[in-house]
A and B are shown apart, each in its own frame.
Chain A
Amino acid sequence: MSAENQVHPQTKHAVMATPTHDEFSRQEFVRSYKNYLVQNVHSGNQTRYEKIIKPKFEKTHNRAPKDRFEVGKEMVHDPYYQMFSSLLRTSQEMMWSSCQMPVNRDLENLNQKIKITKGTKTLGSLKLDTKLQIPRYHTAVDIHCQPGGYHTEVTEDDASAGLVYDRAVHIYAMGQLGPYNDDIGASILLWLKNNHPTMAPRKILDMGCSVGHSTVPYAQAFPDAEVHGIDVAAPMLRYAHARAEELGEKVHFSQQNAEQTNFKSGTFDLIVSHILLHETSQKAIHNIVKECHRLLKPGGLMVHGETPPYKNMGPFDAFMLDWDTRNNNEPFWARSHEIDLEKLSKKGGFDPKNQFETLIPSALQVAEAKRSKVFQGGDFGGGGLWFIYGNMR
């Protein structure tokens, strides 16, 4: 078995959907399929671009394509790119389908297990708001092709979207978010430890927390802190609450929109989000930063984890990174990666002097490197780096 075939399994816990033998094989197939595309097919697009498409363009225009739009106009006609795209889109659909199967088969039971009976003593809490309006940017299309998106409920006290999502995230990242899918949170924590070593937040908020996979590590790192996770989607929060309880971590989940929460001003020492911003909208992103400013105590810190922005990226790379905008139901992906973050902070009320944006190493990769000093193989996909943007209040 070569290093690239090394499997990084998801750690099982009691509230997750347990697949049958064949269901598990189906999910494993999708993971291998995605891995294959990343490692063996994706790079062929660049070869096609460099060897055929770019020279042809240069011949007719006497210059290279100037931006991702010009690259795109040519690439969409390339048979290799067409095949790659069709395969990638299919892998995404198969991923959701393979993760839906065990949930669908056992939905009543799973929802029953997740439902925490009233009066049961819990570490954290769950507060749902049935009247909360699901924002248009979540109902217009189902984000990253999850059928029903984050919010759809198919039965009473339904957690199906969360059950599906917890497993799908692991397959989507091909295990590269770690056995608990918590690498983005863990990486921000590692950055905090190195850059703000004395920070001891008493109140922490995770915005757009979905199943709380990135929220839990904050509760683990700061056991004395009060940790809150908010999301607009009830099925995610039901699952997140049960999952956190199962993992023995105290997190308070509530159904709220990060644009306008019901927390009092100056409540939090630390506000974080993990790949939330690109799943909102131009208007919402500004509202969220403004809300962070309102909710932070003076000296408090806002940190948003994302994938890197397009600036300093060549037109071809930007075009490839933009694939998800058109083809994976991520409508705000492109624009969110082009926002002037300094202006965003300023508009939100922050002092741009205290604004930061940087690439940070993946905590999982740092740990792996420590574990195996001799050999560091395997594919860490996104290069083992996360992008963070934030501001000190």
Chain B
Amino acid sequence: MNDIKKLQRKARGERPVFFEDPNVDKLISMIMGLAGEVAVLHDRSDTLERLLQTKGLVKQSEIDSFEPSIQVQGERASWRKNYLSEILRIIESELEDQKSGDREPYEKAVKRVETN
């Protein structure tokens, strides 16, 4: 994806809010943005598979019947773990706070530096 720098990105005019909580509107926009990127990835791997097939390098059926070895399964599982951990970072970080006992309200930290 290239950076959009030259063209104006936001259309002039107030963006409508449909849900009671405007953040829900933003979430919808994010989810559909992600859905779009997944579709782009899908097309890209589809292109690769078709090119490989056309060039006689790999058959579609070979991909469909590909059985990952135990080693590959392990590597993929490990990739997925890291992947999920990145996505669910927000939940993990909450847990980490609880584990470390670092539950001091943030305001306290502000007060501390403001008064000391």
A142–B15 touching, CB < 8 Å:
no
Stretch from B16-24, B61-69, B96-104, B106-114 that touches the partner: B16-24
A152–B16 touching, CB < 8 Å:
no
**Cβ–Cβ < 8 Å partners of A87 in chain B:** 28, 32
Say yes or no: is B55 at the interface (Cβ < 8 Å to chain A).
Answer: no
**Cβ–Cβ < 8 Å partners of B13 in chain A:** 140-142, 145, 329
B44–A147 touching, CB < 8 Å:
no
Residue of B nearest to A100 (CB): B7
Q: How many contacts A-B (CB < 8 Å)? A: 110
Say yes or no: is A336 at the interface (Cβ < 8 Å to chain B).
Answer: no
**Contacting A94 at CB < 8 Å: which of B4, B6, B11, B33?**
B33
What mask results when residues 307 to 345 of chain A are scored 1 for a CB within 8 Å of chain B, else 0? 000000000000000000011010000000000000000
Question: How many chain-B residues does the 8 Å CB contact rule pick out?
Answer: 30
Say yes or no: is B52 at the interface (Cβ < 8 Å to chain A).
Answer: no
**Contacting A25 at CB < 8 Å: which of B10, B11, B43?**
B43
A89–B16 touching, CB < 8 Å:
yes
Give chain B's interface secondary structure class: loop
Stretch from A102-110, A124-132, A269-277, A278-286 that touches the partner: A102-110
B7–A104 touching, CB < 8 Å:
yes
What mask results when residues 26 to 55 of chain B are scored 1 for a CB within 8 Å of chain A, else 0? 001100110110011001100100000000
Give CA–CA (A154, B7) in the complex, Å.
7
Say yes or no: is A389 at the interface (Cβ < 8 Å to chain B).
Answer: no
**Cβ–Cβ < 8 Å partners of B88 in chain A:** none
B25–A29 touching, CB < 8 Å:
no
Say yes or no: is A146 at the interface (Cβ < 8 Å to chain B).
Answer: yes
A91–B8 touching, CB < 8 Å:
no
B6–A107 touching, CB < 8 Å:
yes
**Cβ–Cβ < 8 Å partners of B24 in chain A:** 86
Give CA–CA (A327, B18) in the complex, Å.
10
Q: Give the Cβ gap from B27 to chain A, nearest Cβ, in Å.
A: 9
Knowing A25-B43, A33-B36, A94-B36, say if A89 contacts B7 (CB, 8 Å). no
Q: Give the Cβ gap from A159 to chain B, nearest Cβ, in Å.
A: 12
Say yes or no: is A247 at the interface (Cβ < 8 Å to chain B).
Answer: no
**Cβ–Cβ < 8 Å partners of B12 in chain A:** 139-142, 147-149
Say yes or no: is A115 at the interface (Cβ < 8 Å to chain B).
Answer: no
A97–B1 touching, CB < 8 Å:
no
**Cβ–Cβ < 8 Å partners of A327 in chain B:** 16
Knowing A104-B6, A329-B11, say if A85 contacts B36 (CB, 8 Å). no
Give CA–CA (A33, B35) in the complex, Å.
10
Say yes or no: is A220 at the interface (Cβ < 8 Å to chain B).
Answer: no
Give CA–CA (A329, B19) in the complex, Å.
19
Say yes or no: is A28 at the interface (Cβ < 8 Å to chain B).
Answer: yes
Say yes or no: is B115 at the interface (Cβ < 8 Å to chain A).
Answer: no
**Cβ–Cβ < 8 Å partners of A101 in chain B:** 1-2, 4
Give CA–CA (A20, B40) in the complex, Å.
11
**Cβ–Cβ < 8 Å partners of A164 in chain B:** 7
Within 8 A of B (CB), among A145-180: 145-149, 152, 154-155, 160, 164
Q: Give the Cβ gap from A27 to chain B, nearest Cβ, in Å.
A: 10
Residues of B near any A CB (own CB < 8 A): 1-13, 15-16, 18-19, 24-25, 28-29, 32-33, 35-36, 39-40, 43-44, 47
* 21 intermolecular pairs with C-beta atoms under 8 Å apart: A22-B40, A22-B43, A25-B43, A26-B36, A26-B39, A33-B36, A76-B18, A82-B18, A86-B28, A87-B28, A90-B32, A98-B36, A104-B3, A142-B13, A146-B11, A147-B7, A147-B11, A148-B11, A149-B12, A152-B8, A154-B8
